[in-house]
Structure 1
Amino acid sequence: MTQDVSFNVRNNNGEAVRVAAWRYQGDGSGPIVHLQAGVHADEIAGMLVLHLLMPRLQAAEAAGRLKGQVTVVPQANPLGIGQFRQGRILGRFHDATGHNFNRGFDQSAAMTRAASNVQEWQKKLVELAANADVMLDLHTDDEALPYLYVHRAFWPGGRELAAAMKMDVAIIWDDGGDGSFEETIIAPWLREGATARRMAATLELRGQGDVNDRYAQSDADGLYHWLCTQGVVDESVAAAEWPVEAMEMGHMETIIAPQPGILIFEKELGDFVEEGQRFARILRTPGDPSSEIVLHAEQSGRLVTRYRDRLIAQGMGVAKFTGSRVSRNWSGGLLDPN
């Protein structure tokens, strides 16, 4: 029987807000799974995906075909979901403190008593997922191809997941250090060397404007398909086929805006560019042609992500490309440190 495992945390006014979560019990013979979306509250796509997945899990449970226990948190962050400013949700950072919602989970989880409402929320969310064998965290980029973000310990096993989700790129990482949710959950697995029958990954479900029934249904179908292949649901399905490009995180090439201005892309997501080829330009002062700067690819590769807005500030990331060598700008750590 499905169990309500929701919990409350305090908002900035000290009032209780609910993190809705459901647990589909299964018969205990399959893996323990934790699925969540919306840790960064402005990343909406995964929320709809899990909303569409839940009835299928409930049906499998009712039919006696659910083998694993599956916890679903379709909207994980009530603290960020209401942070609207001038018509736009600002859900990456906690408005009151500037805390990135997906950083510092490790420190919060280690606290006997959380000091802030963000830390309280982080601690309770980690506790909800602590006994999982499989943890999938659904995110969304600005504008992007669908891609998988996965620790090396779970590769090449993660290729099957990426294929099921029709993800074009898998970015493989080794070291984080900023206490993301994924990093915090897998830390004890890595310490114990107990990763063989486990899986953890962050799924980047395209861009923030890509929220619609077609994409969400395809993603929910892919996720259900993969759960079947992992023995979570007793349903015979063939492993998915999809070309997935595995990419070392250090080979990902991020292009930074050298000046503010109007951003004009000349290449589309998925396009391949040669090293030195122009792909965008930034016009600082409309009416002054000399204020325009052309942006060129640092190395040959595919355009994976783009900045969503078309007015960009200096120092912001314009785009990310795959590459065949370590980026000259790579210094270790996370793909997006902030």
Structure 2
Amino acid sequence: MAQDISFKIRNNNGDTVQVGAWRFQGASGGPKVHLQAGVHADEIAGMLVLHLLMQHLAVAEAEGRLNGSVTVVPQANPLGIGQFRQGRILGRFHDATGHNFNRGFDQSAAMEQPSTNVQEWQKKLVQLAAPADVMLDLHTDDEALPYIYVHRSFWPQGYELAAAMKMDLAIIWDEGGDGSFEETIIAPWLREGATQGRLAATLELRGQGDVSDRYATQDAQGLYAWLCGFGVIDGANARPEWPVEVRDMAQMETILAPQPGVLIFEKELGDVVKQGQRFARILRRPGDPTSEVVLVAEQTGRMVTRYRDRLISQGVVVAKFTGSQVSRHWRGGLLDPN
């Protein structure tokens, strides 16, 4: 039976809340795995995936087929889970401080005494995951194809994970600087040159509305199959074959809204849009045809993400595309800077 290793932190009003965490323990000497979902509390899909996966892990543990250990944190962020406003959860940023929940983990982990409850939560979550050889952080985008976000040190060995999860795209990154959870966990590995036999990745499980038994079952089965292939679970595993498009982060095109207004997409997720071809338009003042702005692709590529709502404010990400060359807007850093 999985060991309950949940821990408590302080909420905004000083009361304690719990972060549910469980550890499935197998034979000693195997890989240590850390799986988590919901660091951004409004990204729900991974929570259901890990809920289903835990049932399979319990069977493997009971049957003695588990090697090493698997730690599962299916709903990692109790601070963000309670942030409902007018019926909608706002879980990317901490209400009280404006802190992006997936930024600054490195600074929080280095603090002897964290000064805010977000920093306290971040420090404890890093401490829980730090001993792992494998760390997978489950996220979602607005509306999106499934994709993997992985440091160059773990590619191409990360292909089998992407294929097992039937992910359409792998985005390879080299530099961060934002202190995301993934970046914070791998930082000591990179400093020590100790990446052999290890893997860390952020898995973007489609869009925020893509929460269903069908998708979650597929994703849980994919994770389980990959864990078998990685040697964490004794079980049959055929090498997956799946077409994964690989792009450096610098080749991704991020299109921002030049004005606020009604957003009308003319292309669907996954569509290939040629350079200069229109894919959406924004109508600033309905009734005034001169207020409409047409958006076109910067270079030929597939539409990977789209903004979830159909009323957009200026400067917000409308869509992201793959490209075959470095974007003219690339300045280094993050795919999503905020």
TM-score (norm 2): 0.99
What is the Cα deviation at residue 236 of structure 1?
1.8
What is the Cα deviation at residue 193 of structure 1?
0.4
Whole-Å separation in 1 of the counterparts to 2:293 and 2:115: 46
Q: Which residue of 1 aligns with 2:180?
A: 180
Task: Write out aligned runs for 1:171-320 (5 A).
Answer: 171-320=171-320
Q: Which residue of 1 aligns with 2:17?
A: 17
Q: Which residue of 1 aligns with 2:58?
A: 58
Whole-Å separation in 1 of the counterparts to 2:221 and 2:51: 12
Other structure's SS at 2:325 match: coil
Task: Write out aligned runs for 1:74-89 (5 A).
Answer: 74-89=74-89
Other structure's SS at 1:237 match: coil
Other structure's SS at 1:79 match: helix
Q: Which residue of 1 aligns with 2:156?
A: 156
What is the Cα deviation at residue 30 of structure 1?
1.7
Matched, 1:131 2:131: yes
What is the Cα deviation at residue 239 of structure 1?
1.2
TM-score (norm 1): 0.99
Task: Write out aligned runs for 1:160-171 (5 A).
Answer: 160-171=160-171
Q: Which residue of 2 aligns with 1:93?
A: 93
Instruction: Structure 2 unaligned segments of length 5 or more: list them.
Output: none
Whole-Å separation in 1 of the counterparts to 2:68 and 2:171: 27
- Aligned-residue Cα RMSD (Å) equals 0.5
Whole-Å separation in 1 of the counterparts to 2:291 and 2:63: 65
Instruction: Structure 1 unaligned segments of length 5 or more: list them.
Output: none
Runs of 4+ deviating beyond 4 Å: none
Tell me if structure 2 keeps the 8 A contact 1:68–1:231: no
1:223-282 Cα shifts (integer Å, max 9, x gaps): 000000000000021111110000000000000100000000000000001100000000
Tell me if structure 2 keeps the 8 A contact 1:6–1:22: yes
Other structure's SS at 1:323 match: coil
Other structure's SS at 1:31 match: strand
Whole-Å separation in 2 of the counterparts to 1:239 and 1:73: 27
Other structure's SS at 1:131 match: coil
What is the Cα deviation at residue 26 of structure 1?
0.8
Whole-Å separation in 1 of the counterparts to 2:145 and 2:282: 22
Q: Which residue of 1 aligns with 2:45?
A: 45
Q: Which residue of 2 aligns with 1:109?
A: 109
What is the Cα deviation at residue 118 of structure 1?
0.2
Whole-Å separation in 1 of the counterparts to 2:83 and 2:49: 22
Other structure's SS at 2:126 match: helix
Whole-Å separation in 1 of the counterparts to 2:95 and 2:328: 34
- AA aligned opposite 1:72: V
What is the Cα deviation at residue 29 of structure 1?
3.2
Other structure's SS at 1:28 match: strand
Whole-Å separation in 2 of the counterparts to 1:108 and 1:311: 36
Whole-Å separation in 2 of the counterparts to 1:41 and 1:187: 24
What is the Cα deviation at residue 68 of structure 1?
2.2
- Among all aligned residue pairs of Structure 1 and Structure 2, give the percentage whose two residues are the same amino acid: 79
- AA aligned opposite 2:4: D
